[in-house]
Chain A
Amino acid sequence: MKPFTYERATNAQSAAHAVTQNPNAKFIAGGTNLLDLMKLQIETPAHLVDVSRLPLTRIEQKEGGLRIGALVRNSTLAADGHVRRAYPVLSEALLAGASGQLRNKATTGGNLLQRTRCMYFYTRDKPCNKREPGSGCSALQGINRSNAVLAPNDTCIAVHPSDMAVAMIALNASVETVSPAGATRAIPLNDFYTPASTHPEIETVLQPGELITSVSLPPPPPGGQSYRKVRDRASYAFALVSVAVAGNQIALGGVAYKPWRASKAEAALGAGASATEAADAEMKDAKGYGGNDFKIPLARRIIVSTLNDAQEKSNA
């Protein structure tokens, strides 16, 4: 790990300001992903602004919806009574991710900003456009079992690793931020992540120093909710494919550079198509790279089974 200076922030705006005042500075909250990457010298910040003590830890019901502070722990959010009753897909997605110890550290904001687990991103002696722009993508012709099948491109086929964000996309979440100048804005989560095809090293629309303060959910949509995750182990592994369903809203994980809103499947269902036809519509343009070809039929089947599961929960 490279040396760095450290400060503990006292309020959100001053934290945002501190990050812009120090070259190569980063926020740190739970640290479960950032410190891992720092140990491997994939992230090498010269200054850390510790935001973990900021008062952004409340879960508030608001206008029928929910506002989740950026520093609410993944475990706290998953266990919240209102979340479990009104947004069970979110609770299920959170509980499908990481381990008990990690969920006790990982935060809502940090979960959204975690980096990919593509093995080439973690392997410093192999080309990776996300880690070293312009060096090439080793996954295209390499070991790509975990990589993307949607939004195909030749620059970067890493996937976003979050479970939580998949449920949040299905729930129409928006991300609230504060800038170093104190300006606030709300960004629909579906517009939060930027395409990997041009600048894979840049992953979100956040500006330098902009700090996530909360994530808001609108009232839960009518209908059943379900999260289904397929992985290589029964527990404590990243998704190969995951599907979140909330009423008629569908999102996919493990298949693209971002948690993927399945709008084609939604449109097909809205036009009266069956679940199978809807899944086919969503995966029609998918592209495999050899090792991940299996994800295309797998995603189709998991879309169908999760839609059926949500329907059963709705009937019950």
Chain B
Amino acid sequence: MSDKDSANGPTLRGYAPDTAAIDALTSSPSRDVLGQTQPRTARPVTQQIRLKVNGTVHSLSVDTRTSLLDALRENLRFTGSKKGCDHGQCGACTVLVEGMRIVSCLSLAVMHEGDEIVTIEGLGEPGKLHPMQAAFLEHDGFQCGYCTSGQICSAVGMLTEHRKGWPSHATPDVAAASIPLSDAEIRERMSGNLCRCAAYPNILAAIKAAGAV
């Protein structure tokens, strides 16, 4: 907003109603300025669900649009999982579902009834850290820390995948029976987690230590 706008008081933009929010709240047919009846707009749909997070079942009521990430953070207050891009590109929201790492921003909470969900809070706690958490501290695997919970959950899931013998794009022969966890393998397998502070060398060192590579 320019100084001129400020001098003239709030602009139209400041007063413009959030039409999406109004649409969402309007349940009955509305009339427009010409008095014509408008079709009924879609109303938010809420659903009662049970989510098992870090070993405890929680009952909650969510809008069907709620991502697993938002349900964890906003409804259940597991705020360790972070929202970075909200489009599955940065990995900050990575959690473990049925032992597999996923981005929780690209999944609906209503789709996870019956699943075993583990967040950073469920991996360990102060005084009783998960080995991966301890290794990130020991090797200074972060700067600002925003991506760290996603990095740690992803690294835990990644090591599980490697132990199962899964190949990666860095594997020279995908049919190989044994795949050493080289630096190139770790970097490729962790490419879904971005760190804008570029703490990558220390993240790599932490994962190698925790994975006993």
Known contacts A6-B45, A6-B64, A100-B157; can you find 8 more A-B pairs with CB under 8 A? A2-B42, A3-B64, A4-B45, A8-B111, A79-B165, A79-B166, A95-B171, A102-B88
Which residues of chain B come closer than 8 Å to A39, judged between CB atoms? 86-87
A78 to B190: give the CA distance in the assembly, Å: 17
Which residues of chain B come closer than 8 Å to A2, judged between CB atoms? 42
Residue B60 is within 8 A (CB to CB) of chain A in the complex: no
Most buried by A among B44, B102, B189: B102
**B108 A6 Cβ-Cβ under 8 A:** yes
A52 to B108: give the CA distance in the assembly, Å: 12
Q: Which residues in chain A, 75-106, are within 8 Å of chain B measured between CB atoms?
A: 75, 78-79, 84-85, 88, 91-92, 95-96, 98-102, 104-105
Closest chain A residue to B189, Cβ basis: A100
Residue A236 is within 8 A (CB to CB) of chain B in the complex: yes
Q: Give the segment of A29-37, A132-140, A181-189, A260-268 that binds chain B.
A: A29-37
Interface size class of B (residues with CB under 8 A): 35 or more
**A235 B191 Cβ-Cβ under 8 A:** yes
Closest chain B residue to A88, Cβ basis: B174
B158's partner among A48, A88, A100 (CB-CB below 8 A) is A100
Q: Which residues in chain A, 2-53, are within 8 Å of chain B measured between CB atoms?
A: 2-6, 8, 28, 31-32, 35-36, 39, 46, 48, 50, 52
Closest chain A residue to B104, Cβ basis: A101
**A75 B166 Cβ-Cβ under 8 A:** yes
Which residues of chain B come closer than 8 Å to A31, judged between CB atoms? 106-108, 111
Residue B91 is within 8 A (CB to CB) of chain A in the complex: yes
Residue B154 is within 8 A (CB to CB) of chain A in the complex: yes
A31 to B188: give the CA distance in the assembly, Å: 23
**A4 B42 Cβ-Cβ under 8 A:** yes
Residue B13 is within 8 A (CB to CB) of chain A in the complex: no
User: Which secondary structure dominates where chain A touches chain B?
Assistant: mixed
Residue B140 is within 8 A (CB to CB) of chain A in the complex: no
- Distance in angstroms from B111 CB to nearest chain A CB is 6
**A101 B167 Cβ-Cβ under 8 A:** no
Residue B82 is within 8 A (CB to CB) of chain A in the complex: no
- Distance in angstroms from B40 CB to nearest chain A CB is 11
Which residues of chain A come closer than 8 Å to B164, judged between CB atoms? 79
**B167 A91 Cβ-Cβ under 8 A:** yes
Residue A202 is within 8 A (CB to CB) of chain B in the complex: no
A96 to B100: give the CA distance in the assembly, Å: 19
**A6 B174 Cβ-Cβ under 8 A:** no
- Distance in angstroms from B142 CB to nearest chain A CB is 19
Which residues of chain A come closer than 8 Å to B157, judged between CB atoms? 100-101, 104
B188's partner among A48, A102, A235 (CB-CB below 8 A) is A235
Q: Which residues in chain B, 38-85, are within 8 Å of chain A measured between CB atoms?
A: 42-45, 47, 63-65, 67
Residue B31 is within 8 A (CB to CB) of chain A in the complex: no
B167's partner among A28, A48, A79, A236 (CB-CB below 8 A) is A79
Residue A273 is within 8 A (CB to CB) of chain B in the complex: no
Which residues of chain A come closer than 8 Å to B135, judged between CB atoms? none
A85 to B47: give the CA distance in the assembly, Å: 45
